[in-house]
Each structure stands twice: as structure tokens, then as C-alpha cells.
Amino acid sequence: MLQRISVGLCAFSLFLAPLPVDARGWGLPNSGDVTNGVFVRAAVVALDLPILSKGDALPYARVPQNLIPYIRTAYERGALDVFGKDFAVSSSVTRGQAIQVLVELTNLSGAGDGKTSFRDVRAGSAIARAVRVAVEQGWLVPLRSTQFGIDRPITASEAERMLKKARGRAGQVRKDFPEETRQVIRITIPKSKGTAVVPKNDILQSVWQIINDEFLYQDKVKQEEAAYGAIEGMVQSLGDPYTTFLRPVKAQNFRSQIKGEVTGIGAQVEDRSGVLTIVTPLTGSPAEHAGLLPGDEILSADGVSLTGIGFLEAVERVRGPKGTSVRLRIRRGGSEFDVSVQRDVVSVPEIDVRMQDGVGIVKLMQFGHGADTKLRSELEALAAKKPRGIVLDLRNNPGGLEHAAGVVVSNFVPKNTPFSIIKSSGSTEEHRTEAEPTIDPAMPLIVLVNGGSASASEIVAGALQDFARATIVGEKTFGKGTVQALLQFADQSSLKITIAQWLTPKGRVIDRVGIVPDVTVPYSTERDEQMLKAMELLRR
């Protein structure tokens, strides 16, 4: 499934039609049961996983030499844990074992709490979650309404059907938010596109063959590195800053960010006159442990200057994989010093709702899972306190899920109100709110924005401005008005690719333009003039 993202992030789903496959080429028998070894090999081949020809010795006895690369590939991905220490290659694989292997190889996860209606499946267990995936994906048909048949050997025809269905998703992103119920759009790829070949493919193949045959330093030939490098070069040639290839680790970091978790130093930051500045370190974060303070200016990361390169790129330079360290050049009170911070997984607080002088202050840090699922209940509780107005603070919010943007807008406008228009090369879609407002439409609303407000933030500000529902206060927004799709491949790498642009409900273009506030208030280092202006407007 393809996750639509805006600004860094956004969300709806697509399916790509799989190419025809020959299941017999996967090594499955024509009929009868399927053995453990044969099924694992077929699954690895069907999903086009990179084969690990070399590696540590396997902890299993009596594995035929011709199966070792496939067994090792599955083992390294944790797909053989279901067999424990006794992986009997020639034993018949059961339906339960087969779906657990396939769930791990495809990196799919079952939604919900693990409850089950099947008597032969223990609630809350790993097999219960795998059964849920198998049912959702249509891999296998339960034997009866109360029995799935996890202990029955899988037949060759069942295995073939399972792998064909799983292969159809092997190059597609999985559904990161199983609670979502957005419409699925199915797209059939025309033959002219589906059969496209890489330009200069003959030269590319020849160069790679020559390298493997003639290059003196064969120990320096890294197949995976060469493949990733070639893909990255192809993507970079497009010249689009939002279309990028993400290697597995970076792809996982990106998916975690959408869920409200990032690997980094754990500090809220903002752009102050082109300098990345810490607003506050998060409690218990690596930044706090390293002694970083509000107001600290981050001048460089690992020797690379962050000044003037743009807010989003500066943030990416500071972030990185868990366990790695980044050396930051800090300016504090006129003096400069270096500090090393070890990155870790940090939970990002998305929503901060409070009352101040009778006004509801709603701060959104990003449009991720929290904003998508929790904001409405937070605003319902806020409305019960009967504030005289609301300030929606979207400053330095880089965006997120487009669906979450619609959820935010839905709190302030009537149900079925347009909040964005998505234009691709072949279609135009109008997206509308799906729920009744939680806030009285007559309640005054101020939206705070600045140059760090991007994408989903601009969707919200633009929609509320189009319908004169809110007064926009602050500085012109970032101007990120394109939509990206995120495709996840079987090796956990991903392609983030621009597929459309979005407009405000009245058709205003935002990309490279931004949202111009109704009331312009420059940022001040002395005090929060923008918030003060918002409070002043609500007192009128």
C-alpha cells in the first residue's frame, strides 16, 4: 500500500497492479504438501528478496547446500522464529507456520488487540496477529468460521495463492496506520509504463559486468552499495528535493517520524533568522542529558554548517540513526563550544492543549498519528471549558498526514466542507471533512504560522483562511504544496516520490508561494509578539 505524504508527510493509499509471475519458478511442487525448506525458498524468491549468499553458519542441522542462501535470508529477517531451534527442512509446513513466515518477510503487522474468533488460535499470540494479516490480505481461506486450520499442512495450491497475493504487495508500502479507513484507489499500470526499461540499461549492465570481471580490488565490490548508489543517482537526477530514495535505516526513521517517534537528539527547534535554535529540550531526551538549553543556537552538525541551508535540511542533519552520535557546534550567550550528543528514539509530543486567560491554546507540533486520532477528543474537552476564543499554533510545524490535516479542519467547519484539492497528472480530487465540528462555528479562531509552517500546516491555514473561519497571524509559511507517495520495498528501503500538488479549497497554489497571513507579525527574540497579537485580537 502506498502512503501519501505531504511535506515530508500526507496520506491516502494506492495499489499497483503486479506483473504476471510463474509460481513454478519459485520451486513449489505441482501438488501435495509443501516442506519447510521449499516454502521458505519459494517465499524468498517470490518476494524478490536480496539473497544472502554469505554469512554466519545457520543454527540448524542438515540444511541442503542449495537451500542455505534462502534459509539464511529468511533467518536474518527473523522469519524463522516460529520454528524455534528445530527447523526441519523436510517436514511439511503448516498453514500457521507459513503465514507467520510470510508476515515477517513482508513486514506486515496485524491491526487491533489480537482478539480472534477462531478456536484454534490463541488470542493475543503471534499466530493470532499473523492470522489477522492472512485474513485481511486474503492469503488463506479459514477452514470454518470458528476454525482457521493453523496446524493443517499447507497444500501447493494454497502456498502458490498466498505467495502470488503477497508478491503483489512486495514492492509497495505496508499500511502503517491500521486504524485508518481511507478509500483505497486501485491503479492499473499501462503496458507502456509497466515495460519501461532503465535508460542506457545495456551500458549499465556492461559496466557492472566489467567491474565484476576485471576490477582489481574485488574485495571493494559491494553489490548492495552499488545498487543503492545507482538508484540514488537516478532519483537525484530528477532534481526534485521531495523525491528521494531512502535506504532501509533512513526509511524506518521516516516511518517512525510519522508515528510520532524519531531518532535524534530530542529537542523542539525553530528557525530564527536562518539559525537552527533550540526552543526546549524534551524531558529525558539526549539533548537534555547533554546539557543543551533553550535558546542554544546549533551552528553545525558533524562539521557541516547549518546556517542558511533551510529549516528542514538543518533538522535532517541533526537527526540520525539510534545509537549514533552527532557533534554539534553550539552558540550560547556569545560563546561557542562543541558538544557530542548520542541520538536515540524520541517520542514527539504532537499536541499541547491548555487554557490561558480564558483562551484555549492548541499547539500542534506535527500532523502525525496523534493529531489524526486524539485531537478531536482533546478539543471536545477544551470546548467544555467554554473558552472565549482559540489560538491554533502551527508555527514550526513541518506537516504530516493529509488526513490529519482534514481532521484538524473538521473541528472548526461544518461536515463535508472542502479542505484541499489534489491535482495529479491525470486527475483532480476534492477532499472534504468527514465529521461534525467540535468547536462552535461562532467561536473566534486565530491561527499562528511562520516560515517553519509547511504542508499539512498550510493545508489547514489555507482552508480556514479561504472560508474566513480564522484570522491567520504571523509570517508567510514555507510554501510546500506538493504531495508525495511512499513506496516500501521488500528490503525495507523506500521511494518517496512527488505525484501531485495540492491547492486550497478555492484553488490557490501554495507550492513555493506559501500562505500570506491576514495580520503580519515578525518574530521577536525578546518576547512572543505573535502570540501577544493573537491574544489582543481575541480581546476585541
Active site residues: 455, 466, 480
User: Would you call 4 helix, strand, or coil by DSSP?
Assistant: strand
Distance CA 275, CA 269 (A): 10
Q: Which of 41, 93, 30 is nearest to 64 (CA)?
A: 41
Q: Are 422 and 432 in contact (CB under 8 A)?
A: no
- CB 262, CB 253: distance < 8 Å: yes
CA atoms 173, 153, 157, 42: torsion sign: positive
- Do residues 289 and 344 touch, judged by C-beta distance below 8 A? no
> Which spans in 51-187 are helix H?
68-76, 95-106, 126-137, 156-167
- Identify which of 30, 185, 180, 51 has the alpha carbon closest to the alpha carbon of residue 105: 51
Kindly state the cell numbers that stand for 358: 480564558
CB-CB contact of 455 with 479 (8 Å): no
How many residues are there in the chain?
540
Cell of 194: 509497466
At 23, list the grid cell: 509460481
- Which among 487, 399, 390 is positioned nearest to 15, based on CA atoms? 487
Candidates 275, 271, 357, 270; CA nearest to 532 is 357
Residue among 183, 131, 176, 217 at smallest CA distance from 14: 183
Given the DSSP bridges, would you call strands 482-488 and 519-520 parallel, antiparallel or unpaired? unpaired
Lookup: cell for 356: 490561558
The pair phi, psi for residue 423, each rounded to 5°, is -115, 120
Instruction: List Cα–Cα distances, 74 to 134, 137, 487, in angstroms.
Output: 19, 21, 22
Q: Of 345, 348, 343, 353, which Cα lies nearest the Cα of 375?
A: 353
Question: What torsion, rounded to 10 degrees, do the Cα atoms 384, 386, 391, 394 define?
Answer: 0
Whose CA is closest to 37, among 127, 78, 77, 97?
97
Q: Cell 511442487 sits at which residue?
A: 29
